Amino acid sequence: MEIAILLFDRLTALDAVGPYEVLSRMPDSTVKFVANEPGPKRNERGSLALVADYPLDQVSRPDIIVVPGGPGQSDLMNDEPVLNWIRQAHETSRWTTSVCTGSLILGAAGLLKGLKATSHWLAYDVLRSLGAEPTPERVVIEGKIITAAGVSAGIDMALTLVARECGDKFAQATQLAIEYDPQPPFDTGSPEKAPAEIVEGIRSRSRFAMQGGEERIRNKRK
C-alpha cells in the first residue's frame, strides 16, 4: 500500500502528521511525502519544516492520497502541476483524502463537483464555490473520496479509512497504539459547541485570510 502525503509551503503541520501517524501503521504500507519540489516545506508559522522526499512525478500511482490544508492551500489552488498530479493519481487511487482546507485543493482539481464534502468550518463558502456541498460532519465519505474537517480531524479520518481497509480490529489496535483516548479540557471544538463570542472572534480574525482565498479563485476564473 503506497500512501502519498502532499506537502507544500504554509501547510498546517497537524493536518499531515495526524493521518500520517495512523496510516503509516498499516501493514505493508510505504508512506511518501511528495511535493512539487522535494525538500523542507515550512508551515504557516515558519517554525516547523517537514521534509518532502519525493517529487510528484516519482509517485504517480499511490493507493492513498492525503492532501492536507493550511493557508498555503490558496497557492496550490492555482498550481496546475499539483492539480494535474491529483487528477491523475485519483484515477487509480483506492482512496483520495483531504484534511481541513485540503478539500479546497481537491475541489480546485475538480474532484468534488456535486459531492458532499467537509473542510475547516471557516471554509464552507469557498468549498461551495468549488461545486461541493459543504457538510458539517467530521469525516465525509463519498465513494473513494474522504474529506475531513479542520486540522485535528485527520486522525479520525485516517482511523475510519484504516477500519475500511484493514478491518475494525486493526483500526482499534492502531487507536490503542497511539493512545487516542481524547480528553480535551473543554467541549468547544466545533462552531456548534463553542460559545458564540469565541466563534465570531475567530471568524472576524480569519475574514481577511479567507477573502484572500476567494479573491484568488475569482481572479483565476476571470
Chain residues in the site for a copy of itself (CB under 8 A) = 12-14, 17-18, 20-21, 24, 30-33, 40, 45, 47-51, 53, 100, 120-121, 138-139, 149-153, 155-156, 159-160, 163, 168-169, 171-173, 175-186, 188-191, 193-195, 198-199, 201-202
> How open is the CA angle 160-162-165, to the nearest 5 degrees?
115
Concerning whether 100 is annotated as a catalytic residue, the answer is yes
- Do 95 and 144 contact (CB within 8 A), yes or no? yes
**Residue 169, SS3 per DSSP:** helix
Would you call 53 exposed, middle or buried from its count of C-beta atoms within 10 A (0-12, 13-18, 19+)?
A: middle
Nearer to a copy of itself, 48 or 217 (CB): 48
Closest CB 153 distance from a copy of itself, rounded Å? 6
3-state secondary structure of 43: strand
Q: 145 or 159: whose CB is closer to a copy of itself?
A: 159
Q: How far is the CB of 144 from a copy of itself (least distance, A)?
A: 18
Using left for φ > 0, alpha for ψ between -120 and 50, and beta otherwise, residue 129 falls in alpha
Least distance from a copy of itself to the Cβ atom of residue 85, Å: 19
Nearer to a copy of itself, 23 or 83 (CB): 23
The catalytically annotated residue of 64, 100, 106, 171 is: 100
Residues 6+ apart with CB under 8 A from 110: 83, 87, 131
> Which of 91/179 has CB closer to a copy of itself?
179
Shortest separation between residue 100's beta carbon and a copy of itself, angstroms: 8
Handedness of CA 3, 146, 15, 11 (dihedral sign): positive
- Catalytic annotation, residues: 100
